[in-house]
């Protein structure tokens, strides 16, 4: 068997249906609390739409209802164990120390909030390491060739996604 890992990249081009992209990205990384091998945990946003798109995405993530999975109002449950929480926090701390910008959310117990980290490059710990949690590393790109190179520059390779109107 192969373990191909889950640092799945997603690219959003300026011509994409932004609402559709936000829905897909949110479901991909925050569904199952990011504990999915195909969670889209590396997001590349085209520079021309970066700020507005990231604001919309952050607003959506901030509204996710965290709670007990059996509660019908819950949209995101807990992380599977404490060790995983430690791994997530360690990688976020290292990323912030290396220039990443964490969007603030609160955290209690094994419930880890939807977290978005702006990364200057895709070699920072949250963008490079498999965290198996609801952490989205966000980066900018300008051209199709550039983003394809960045998306392929990772040791994992299970899935990827692209949002565009120009197939």
Active-site residues, by number, are 3, 37
What secondary structure, in 3-state letters, does 39-73 show? CCCEEEEEHHHHHHHHHHHHHHHHCCCECCCCCCC
Which of 121, 113, 124 minimizes the C-alpha distance to 91? 124
Where do we find the tokens 């590396």? 42
Token duo for residue 60: 């959506």
Q: What's the Cα-to-Cα distance from 155 to each of 5, 135, 151, 158, rounded to whole Å? A: 8, 18, 11, 10
Residue 101 host element (H or E): strand 101-102
Distance, in Å, from the CA atom of 90 to the CA atom of 161, rounded to the nearest integer, reads 27
């Amino acid at each position: 068997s192969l373990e191909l890992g889950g640092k799945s990249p997603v690219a959003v081009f300026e011509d994409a249906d932004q609402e559709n992209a936000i829905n897909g990205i949110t479901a991909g990384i925050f569904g199952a609390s990011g504990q999915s091998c195909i969670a889209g945990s590396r997001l590349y946003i085209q520079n021309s739409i970066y700020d507005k798109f990231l604001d919309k995405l952050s607003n959506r993530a901030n509204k996710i209802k965290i709670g007990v999975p059996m509660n019908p109002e819950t949209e995101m449950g807990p992380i599977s164990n404490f060790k995983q929480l430690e791994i997530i926090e360690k990688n976020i701390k290292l990323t912030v120390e290396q220039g990443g910008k964490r969007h603030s959310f609160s955290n209690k117990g094994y419930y880890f909030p939807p977290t978005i980290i702006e990364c200057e490059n895709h070699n920072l710990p949250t963008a490079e390491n498999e965290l198996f949690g609801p952490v989205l590393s966000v980066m900018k790109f300008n051209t199709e060739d550039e983003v394809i190179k960045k998306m392929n520059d990772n040791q994992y390779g299970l899935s990827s996604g692209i949002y565009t109107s120009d197939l």
